[in-house]
Amino acid sequence: MGKVKCIRKLREELEHKMLCEFASFADGSAGRDRKEEPDEIRTIYQRDRDRILHCKSFRRLKHKTQVFLDPEGDHYRTRLTHTLEVAQIARTIARALMLNEDLTEAIALGHDLGHTPFGHAGESALNRVSPYGFRHNEQSVRVVELLEKHGKGLNLTKEVRDGIRNHRSACKPYTLEGKIVRLSDKIAYVNHDIDDALRGGILTEEDLPEEYTEVVGHSVAGRIDTMVKDVIFTSFGKNEVKMSEKVEGAMRGLRSFLMREVYSNPAAKSEETQAQRLVEYLYRYYLENYETLPEEYKRLADEMGEPVEKVVCDYIAGMSDDFAIKTIKEIFVPVRWGKY
């Protein structure tokens, strides 16, 4: 047993030899809310990554919308494939900058765990009807702190939870690894949303503004490559993670273009109003019929004192697109009765 315990120690020592001075070292973590015995083999951030990867909320991401609601075809992104692309981009940047790859990957894998069915349409609907508001980054933290493991949460480190909470543009993670994920999320969704729009016939490559593609490239792969390398070369050896002004300006320009031409396009968003109504109906139904919630959710309110409005949001946010549709049919669509 003594020899096995050395494996984690060796890994922690190796981090101090291989990572740069600005990295978050596993043996310097601020720790967990509930103390645990260290693992014999894995560092504290490796354990966090594995807990996220094996949790139920992570598995449900494969059936949640990214941008296109119920697209015809197997090659459009889901919330899960988006998460994996963010993790891949973030790991590439972390490795090149000699930052902690395990922490980076854990944050990336967990950053969207709290996302609703039907993408941002579902998020907007819950934010509108709940008196507490609803933001998917805050819900992702709620998932790992409370909702997983029947109210026990995953007991993740403070660094991972901070990175998950602060991956949105308006937020500032306190680790460089968290800042990597924040940028990687943008790189991933700007480029894969363009790719899905091209596949769906909403855009052609020629439609993209030349002033931006001249800077970052004329293909999806080329643009990702340019943005990733720009982050690495701009940030290398510094206590900061950022893009150059030129490349960041082009990325922002493409995002603004997507807002106008894709995110508001009727072909991409034809079902968004119905999806929002569905989520709002579910919220009102479960608020009025709280007793029909699964037992583990009722316990959150009855035994742990969580507001009913939040618990209802917890249940709906955890649904996949298909499960939400199935549930609304069971609630509102009458079933024929009788024997044949």
d(CA 45, CA 51): 10
Nearest to 197 by CA among 186, 208, 187: 208
Q: How many CB atoms lie within 10 A of CB 180?
A: 30
Least confident piece of the model among 146-160, 266-280, 310-324: 266-280
Whether residue 265 is predicted with pLDDT greater than 80 in this model: the reply is: no
Q: How far apart are CA 216 and CA 281, in angstroms?
A: 43
Q: With beta carbons less than 8 A apart as the criterion, state whether 328 and 282 touch.
A: yes
Overall pTM > 0.75: yes
**Among 208, 202, 231, 232, which residue's Cα sits nearest to residue 220?**
208
| Per-residue tokens: 133 | 């508001």
Residue-averaged pLDDT of the chain: 91
Beta bridge partners of 65: 78
- pLDDT for position 261: 86
pLDDT attached to residue 269: 60
Chain segment 28-63, per-residue pLDDT in tens: 999 999 999 999 999 999 999 999 999 999 999 998
Determine the pLDDT at residue 1.
47
What sign results for the dihedral spanned by CA atoms 210, 214, 219, 223?
A: negative
Contact status, residue 45 vs residue 26, Cβ threshold 8 Å: yes
189-233, pLDDT tens digit by residue? 999 999 988 888 888 999 999 999 999 999 999 999 999 999 999
Cα(43)–Cα(45) distance, integer angstroms:
5
Domain ranges of the chain: 2-327
Which residues have C-beta within 8 Å of that of residue 179, sequence separation ≥ 6? 172, 173, 240, 241, 242
Encoding tokens for residue 198? 């091209």
How many contiguous H segments (helices) and E segments (strands) does the chain have?
18, 0
CATH class of 2-327: mainly alpha
Q: Which residue's entry shows tokens 């949105």? A: 168
Cα angle: 205, vertex 210, 216; to 5 degrees: 85
Of the pLDDT bands very low, low, confident and very high (cuts 50, 70, 90), residue 130 is: very high
